[in-house]
Chains A and B, each alone.
Chain A
């Protein structure tokens, strides 16, 4: 595997389910990001992790819970979601967070549908 991978690619869940999205980067980067891409809206940053420490929480509801066990893996745990949470969830990574090293590389995304 190369670059940034995300699993699953597609997910359908009910509002009472609990599921997790997984992201893995094979680039040796130190920072990882979760973005939400909804129809008709710009991409929104959700969380930023740097060296496994959360450095940004962009006012995301608590039904989204991120986890970064090491610098290569990032999870997004989902519980009691709402239909408006249906979106494409994109993971990205960068070498660092500043300057040219802050260039972000994206995974293919997980398409989430909440019923």
Chain B
């Protein structure tokens, strides 16, 4: 069965430092992968997505992610974190191309120290 694992429940980084959030997936075919961000009390905002082609994808707010098939990973990165990046981040994979069903990881809470 398809699954998504975000190994880090909580991460704290200093403002200006680089960031990498890990995501591992389990899927038989070529996956469709997403990263979403959720601020407190808000819905999910799409950061970026991977469907095919270039394995390094650029997103909004300076985020990027790299798809590595050999490692079944889709890690999210940002070279310099801003205080406004503090939020919860979710990795997701399409589990059914027929229904569009998404399976989400548990989420990683990012705290940014001044």
Measured CB to CB, the residues of A under 8 A from B are: 4, 6, 31, 33, 41-43, 45, 48, 50, 55-56, 58, 90, 92, 94, 96-100, 102-109, 111
Contacts and interface: CB of A to CB of B under 8 A. Distances in A.
Interface string B35-66: 01000011111100101000000000000000
30 contacts: A33-B100, A41-B106, A42-B103, A42-B104, A42-B106, A43-B44, A45-B101, A45-B102, A48-B99, A48-B101, A50-B99, A56-B99, A56-B101, A90-B43, A96-B100, A97-B99, A97-B100, A98-B97, A98-B100, A99-B32, A99-B97, A100-B49, A102-B100, A103-B34, A104-B102, A105-B46, A106-B46, A107-B43, A108-B42, A109-B42
A100 to B, nearest CB: 5
B94 interface: yes
Interface of B: 4, 32, 34, 36, 41-46, 49, 51, 90, 92, 94, 96-107
Nearest to A96: B100
Nearest to B9: A40
Given A41-B106, A42-B104, A99-B97, 12 more contacts: A42-B106, A43-B44, A45-B101, A58-B101, A98-B98, A99-B32, A102-B100, A104-B46, A106-B43, A108-B41, A108-B43, A111-B41
